[in-house]
Copies of this chain bind each other. A is one copy, B any other.
Amino acid sequence: MTETAIRSRDNPIFKRLKKLAESSRARREARMTLLDGEHLLAAYLAAGGTPHTLVRAESCDAARLAAVADCRQAKTVVVPDALFAELAPVATPTGVLAEAAWLTPQAPVDLALVVVLEDIQDPGNLGAMLRTAAAAGATLAVLSKGCHDAWSPKALRGGQGAQFVLPMQLAADPGSWLRDFSGTSVALAPEAAHDLYTLDYTGPTALVVGNEGAGLSAATLAAATTRARIPMPGRVESLNASAALAVAVFEALRQRGVRR
């Protein structure tokens, strides 16, 4: 493994990496992102991905990178810690980054279990929701245009590798997607007449969750075949969007008798 040292902000590779760190547009145009840390890199490799460039902070031991298997073909660049910090999404950088292409995992042939996410704006929330969907074996995540970028470094951190294994349809129009869906679509809404547990999720199902504050738009609510609320007996009247999605997705699995 040969390493290239980058010394300056004017280096073209550094400029390219910095754009990927900061701009969702740059990520979208290149269909690339930056993976932060060995854990995400290992998940990417496990999912069959091949990183394009590995980035090591100068103070980070080269052996740490070498320990991650199968990366020998990737080009490695070493950057001074101050420059590395400009690329890393967290205050205490791990010292290891990878420039990597988006993966497009195949949809499982299982019975459809789709999550439709409208305008989820917090990267941590979005990442957690994708992680929940991936853990549940969801067949697809449909993300509206107003969602935070699913491939941003912060969303990747929240997703813990979910983006590498979960088929996603990005920048979608939830209303038209729901109108084309032939299964049952259930919009989670606090004012719904049905309670979550009275509905049947054993057929092809899409679960629809809206923005953290505003909930679902009228257009999306109208396009879903039914609405459900999660019964909340407590003195706080709503759940975090990510918690609500988890409750609904795992109720669907429970009804399907999934026991893995």
Contact = CB atoms under 8 A, between A and B. Distances in A.
Contacts of A191: none
A230 B158 CA distance: 19
A177 to B, nearest CB: 21
A134 B212 CA distance: 17
A226 interface: no
Interface residues of A, number: 43
A234 B246 CA distance: 14
Given A233-B253, A247-B247, A239 B135 contact: yes
Interface of A: 47, 124, 128, 131-138, 158, 160-162, 165-166, 195, 197, 230-240, 242-247, 250-251, 253-254, 258-260
Given A133-B234, A197-B259, A231-B259, 15 more contacts: A132-B239, A132-B240, A134-B236, A135-B234, A138-B234, A158-B240, A161-B236, A165-B236, A166-B235, A230-B250, A233-B253, A239-B246, A240-B246, A243-B246, A246-B247
12 contacts: A131-B236, A132-B243, A135-B232, A135-B236, A160-B236, A161-B236, A165-B234, A166-B234, A166-B235, A197-B254, A239-B246, A243-B246
